[in-house]
Amino acid sequence: MGRTLPVLVTICFIAALTTLSAPAHAGGYSAIVVDADTGRVLHAHEADTLRYPASLTKMMTLYMAFDALKDGRLKLDQRIPVSAHAAGQAPSAIGLRPGQTLIVRDAILAAVTKSANDATVALGEAIGGGSEAQFAAMMTRRAHQIGMTSTTFRNASGLPNPGQKSTARDMATLAQALLKNHKNYYTYFSTPEFEWNDKVFNNHNHLLKRYEGVDGIKTGYIRASGFNLVASAKRDGRRVIGVVFGGTSVTARDNRMIELLDTAFDRIDDHNAPVMAEKTDRNFGLISSAEATTAKPVKSRQVKPRTEAKASGASNGEWAVQLGAFRQAAAAEKLLDRVRGKLPAAEPLVETVDAGKVTLYRARLTGLTQADARTACQQLKREKMTCSVVSPDA
């Protein structure tokens, strides 16, 4: 048993999202979902906590570019210079060289799809009189004008800067402003790919293909922020905007956004419904262990092994470790699937739980002794994972 625990911890830890090495306020989970037409908040969790926006910053750079196009300061077919500063930006990049020129339309598409920092900075310098710092000050002023009162920008791209911060609520405000004030240019955000200099760059926003109705907007990642996403989706004439900060993988971030959008569309016409309660920790969709452990199960099932290495049916005890409770059965099964076979004395189990207004799916490792269950959960908690020890009498 002792030899298998480090493996269990590693696999569970990866499956349930790793913690970020970053300042205390950075990389944490924030989310908000709003009705794009009315601004009504459908869901919020730490929506006003300052986070690093990463490449969500490019949404503001593009907003500024659309402002300039709208009032004639820029033209789509205009060529803008590429400075040494712009060309020297860290990836993502499309490989611009100092002294080149770039068409404004291409700079926009490079920012939207590849999230190219070199093209984005060249665009910002063109608007900011040749200075990215001056452009960032302009971005901040304009952001405050449209209601992003908690946001400060320090660069055009979203590359790491300790002074560059925003909130989930402010990013939702920016998304609404893009839809309202730059409807004609908003369609750029749904561009699936961009071809430039004999190279094709695919859009980083996977939800454009994964989720019906999504037509934007932007992904972002730096180490201090985790994986961020602002998504906008329209179904049956109704549009919602979702913001997620702090994902620890692309897949986890995207899956969390899908959960939020699904729930929002289910609730958008219920004007008496309260704001969705957030009872997750860093593991998106994972309900608090205490609540999920005490909720009444309505049914349970063993998770069948997919390989020859079956989980042993001969348990050496009646204690269990609960790895999480999820709103989707597939999430519970996926977590258990990753640890299957690593604890021969444990039986993977998914229980369907009636938790009042929602149905939860608990992922448990059962058939453990008290000592083994406690040891496993203590180790998981040291790795910042949520778990609980379940006694035979629970």
Angle (CA) 143 149 152, round 5°:
65
Cβ-contact 218, 205 below 8 angstroms: yes
CA-CA distance, 297 to 303, in Å (whole number)? 16
Which listed residue (30, 58, 166, 342) is catalytic? Answer: 58
Contacts of residue 203, Cβ cutoff 8 Å, sequence gap at least 6: 112, 113, 191, 192, 193, 194
- Measured in whole angstroms, how far is the alpha carbon of residue 126 from the centre of its chain? 31
Q: Whose CA is closest to 105, among 123, 85, 86?
A: 123
Q: What torsion, rounded to 10 degrees, do the Cα atoms 341, 347, 348, 352 define? A: 170
Which listed residue (30, 92, 115, 166) is catalytic? Answer: 115
CA-CA distance, 390 to 394, in Å (whole number)? 6
CA-CA distance, 359 to 198, in Å (whole number)? 50
| Number of other CB atoms surrounding residue 315 within 10 Å | 16
CA-CA distance, 69 to 3, in Å (whole number)? 63
CA-CA distance, 113 to 107, in Å (whole number)? 10
**Three-state DSSP class for residue 234:** strand
CA-CA distance, 206 to 32, in Å (whole number)? 19
Strand-pairing partners, residue 326, are: 286, 361
58 is catalytic: yes
Q: Which two tokens stand for residue 140?
A: 């901040």
Angle (CA) 142 146 152, round 5°:
50
* 131 burial type by CB count under 10 A (0-12 exposed, 13-18 middle, 19+ buried): middle
- State how beta strands 319-326 and 359-368 pair: antiparallel
Q: Which two tokens stand for residue 104?
A: 């404004």
CA-CA distance, 128 to 205, in Å (whole number)? 28
CA-CA distance, 192 to 103, in Å (whole number)? 19
End-to-end CA distance of the chain: 23
Which listed residue (55, 83, 92, 166) is catalytic? Answer: 55
Residues classed as catalytic:
55, 58, 115
